[in-house]
Structure 1
Amino acid sequence: MHEVPDELIRLERSAEEERGRLAGLTGDDYDAQLRRWREASQAAQEAITAHAAATQTNRYELEQAVKKAVRHPPADPASE
Structure 2
Amino acid sequence: MAHTFDELVEMQRLADEAHSRVLELGDTYGRPTATPWTAQQTETYETAWQHWRDLAAQAQAAVTAHAKEQDKPRFGVEAAVRAKAWHPEQAAA
Give the TM-score, by structure 1 length.
Answer: 0.83
Q: Percent identity?
A: 31
The equivalent of 1:70 in structure 2 is 85
Rg bigger for which structure?
A: 2
The reply to whether residue 6 of structure 1 matches residue 6 of structure 2 is yes
The equivalent of 1:48 in structure 2 is 63
Bigger proportion of residues as helix: 2
The equivalent of 2:16 in structure 1 is 16
The gaps in structure 1 that reach 5 residues or longer are none
Q: Write the distance in 2 (CA, Å) between the matches of 1:12 and 1:24.
A: 20
Q: Write the distance in 2 (CA, Å) between the matches of 1:30 and 1:39.
A: 14
SS in 1 for 2:59: helix
Instruction: Please tell me the residue identity of whatever aligns with 1:67.
Output: R
Q: Write the distance in 2 (CA, Å) between the matches of 1:40 and 1:60.
A: 19
1:6 shift after superposition: 0.7
Instruction: Please tell me the residue identity of whatever aligns with 1:12.
Output: Q
1:24 shift after superposition: 2.2
Runs of 4+ in structure 1 over 3 Å off: none
The reply to whether residue 34 of structure 1 matches residue 35 of structure 2 is no
The gaps in structure 2 that reach 5 residues or longer are 27-40
Aligned residues: 74
Q: Write the distance in 1 (CA, Å) between the matches of 2:10 and 2:25.
A: 25
